[in-house]
Amino acid sequence: MKSLFVIKIGGNVIDNDAALASFLDRLASLKSAWILVHGGGKLATELSARLGIETQMVEGRRVTDQATLDVVTMVYGGLVNKRIVAALQARGLNALGLTGADGDCIRARKREHPTTDYGFVGDVERVGVERLLSLIQSGFLPVIAPLSHDGQGIMLNTNADTIASEVASALASYRIAESAVHLVYCFEKQGVLRDVEDETSVISRITAHDYEGLREQGIIAKGMIPKMDNAFAALRRSVSSVVITNADSIGRLEQDDIGGTRIVLS
């Protein structure tokens, strides 16, 4: 294979049946090899609420107690993952769903933090690159849920943006001489916006230097900060390109201009 795309699809798209179907239609039209990483969407929060489990967030990250771990394992690893896999199979693509435990694809360690106990949250330690590549070479298209495991039998909750960045980075480091690995963050917006209220205010290119300024001005804030950090981390670890773009732009992935915001080191 020439280029390999690691594509992350965000929770807001997953929550919208029509938007998800449109994204999957476009994904099915691609000729290149890809790995899809999906977010969780609101379903886990909704299920937790129905079960009377309180959802606690610290700095945009869910605190994962045992009950919440069971919920995200069910929703991300079961419901959402299988919904996407079945929908891709219906489009003639040989999708295969994975969590980090499956084939030991994503090994993580439980997060240790001096002041906050995040519970069953995993920081990625190792991506099973050879196993992912062996699946791709056998004709499977991996669809990865935002779950890792600790290798000791415990599932862990890991941010989907981070999983996408880690998978792309590990593949890029492994295959560096052979071909390019591209990371694409797809979500409901058109890209990184200068004005969050204005979908036409897409910033077409952001360097590491620009990023500093945009953060200081508060133009890049909240959930976009870890996404940008993940984007730069991938570029520093040999990923060829990173784009943050609208889910519907995925059909133009193999063209020169996919639109959205291109992240570059300099």
- Positive or negative, the Cα torsion across 11, 231, 220, 112? positive
What is the C-alpha separation between 163 and 145, in angstroms, rounded?
A: 9
Asked if residue 19 lies in contact with residue 188, where contact means CB atoms within 8 angstroms, the answer is yes
CB of 266 to a copy of itself, least distance (A): 40
Q: Give residue 238's region: left, alpha or beta (phi > 0; psi -120 to 50).
A: left
CB of 249 to a copy of itself, least distance (A): 23
Under rule CB under 8 A, residue 98 binds a copy of itself: yes
Rule CB under 8 A: which of 131-160 touch a copy of itself? 131, 134-135, 138-140, 147, 149, 151-155
Under rule CB under 8 A, residue 25 binds a copy of itself: no
Under rule CB under 8 A, residue 103 binds a copy of itself: yes
151 versus 226: smaller Cβ distance to a copy of itself: 151
Rule CB under 8 A: which of 40-59 touch a copy of itself? 47, 50-51
Among 61, 82, 109, 175, binds a copy of itself (CB under 8 A): 82
3-state SS, one letter per residue, for 55-120: CEEECCEEEECHHHHHHHHHHHHHHHHHHHHHHHHHCCCCEEEECCCHHHCEEEEECCCCCCCCEC
Residue with tokens 């771990």: 69
Asked if residue 155 lies in contact with residue 120, where contact means CB atoms within 8 angstroms, the answer is yes
Under rule CB under 8 A, residue 96 binds a copy of itself: yes
20 versus 206: smaller Cβ distance to a copy of itself: 20
Instruction: Record the tokens describing residue 208, joined without a space.
Output: 């590491």
Distance (Å) of CA 14 to CA 24, 40, 77, 149: 10, 8, 14, 23
Under rule CB under 8 A, residue 79 binds a copy of itself: yes
| Number of residues located near a copy of itself, criterion CB under 8 A | 42
102 versus 166: smaller Cβ distance to a copy of itself: 102
CB of 77 to a copy of itself, least distance (A): 4
Q: What is the DSSP letter of 79?
A: I
Q: Widest CA span of the chain, in angstroms? A: 51
Among 7, 36, 85, 243, binds a copy of itself (CB under 8 A): 85
Instruction: Record the tokens describing residue 28, joined without a space.
Output: 């099915």
Rule CB under 8 A: which of 216-255 touch a copy of itself? none
Catalog residues that contact a copy of itself under the rule CB under 8 A. 47, 50-51, 70, 73-79, 81-83, 85-87, 89-90, 94-99, 101-104, 131, 134-135, 138-140, 147, 149, 151-155
